[in-house]
Amino acid sequence: MPELPEVETITRQLRPHLEGRVVEGVEILDPRWCAPDDAAGTEEALTGRRLLRLDRRGKHVAWRTDGGTLLLHLRMTGTLLVGADADVPYQRVVLALDDGTVVRFCDPRRFGTGRWFDDDAAATAYLDDRLGPEPLGDAFDGAALHEAVRRRRSPIKALLLDQLVVAGVGNIYADEALFFARIHPQRPGDRLTRAQCTALAEGVRVSLQHGIASGGATIDDFRHVDGVEGWFQNDFQVHRRAGLPCPACGAPVIKRVVAGRGTYSCDRCQPRPRARRTTAPGLRPRRAP
């Protein structure tokens, strides 16, 4: 699934093509893209709108127009292509702009979504209700992360994937951030110290910034607006490197499943957490008679 760096990359690449342009035509080829809203109504709402700016919030691209906002989510396999051939496969939406530019939303698995809001404030409120702080913004730091996880027993990997804890982080960048901070992905959130949360917040920022600088990561379907792949996958430290030597210590990278996701870590650099005690110290469980 495209994560924050991939969505940020797409947003930056789209801006010169879209900002200031007028949408002359919209064709929604798959009504599920905007469900439960009506496809014809969404086409009508977008047509004739001038695109003022594109913003990113978490994994969403917000198309701010002179009469409302379109929130677009790529989900697992969505791509936005500019100038692609008319017969490019898996097209779900086609937008024609007043300068002749054509933007095609393609999505093999058809999970991507677009939702129109007549009011910008309503679109912003919709996102704020579902997303935590932006990891590259001032509101996210070690103190904020510690406050978000200190009462939760879930593995920290699962908590990083919770979009209410921090917006935009997914499987790839959670693994890379945890390796940076030398924290095991199975460590419960309530067992992280303030210092560990500070290191992890920095790891999140560093991994995301590296991903953006590399144009995102292409493992399966992610593409730039011109169809080119990202290249951050060539710089992974642990993600998808099971059995290969850890770049820090040489021990083999381990793959396990955490929170239902394939998870990669070095058990030497990221020590496994000790099991919680089930009885009070100094007491032995009673034996059955």
Give 50's contacts (C-beta < 8 A, 6+ positions apart). Answer: 20, 21, 22, 23, 65, 66
CA-based nearest residue to 79, from 13, 20, 134, 160 = 13
Rounded distance between C-alpha atoms, residue 219 and residue 1, angstroms: 9
Rounded distance between C-alpha atoms, residue 153 and residue 159, angstroms: 9
24 is catalytic: no
104 is catalytic: no
Give 222's contacts (C-beta < 8 A, 6+ positions apart). Answer: 2, 6, 79, 216, 229, 230
255 is catalytic: no
Q: Is 68 left (phi over 0), alpha (psi -120 to 50) or beta?
A: left
Give 129's contacts (C-beta < 8 A, 6+ positions apart). Answer: none
Q: Which of 21, 59, 92, 104 is catalytic?
A: 59
Strand partners, 264: 255
**Which two tokens mark 143?**
């103190």
Q: Which of 229, 261, 268, 273 is catalytic?
A: 261
157 is catalytic: no
Rounded distance between C-alpha atoms, residue 81 and residue 224, angstroms: 7
- Which residues are the active-site residues? 2-3, 59, 261
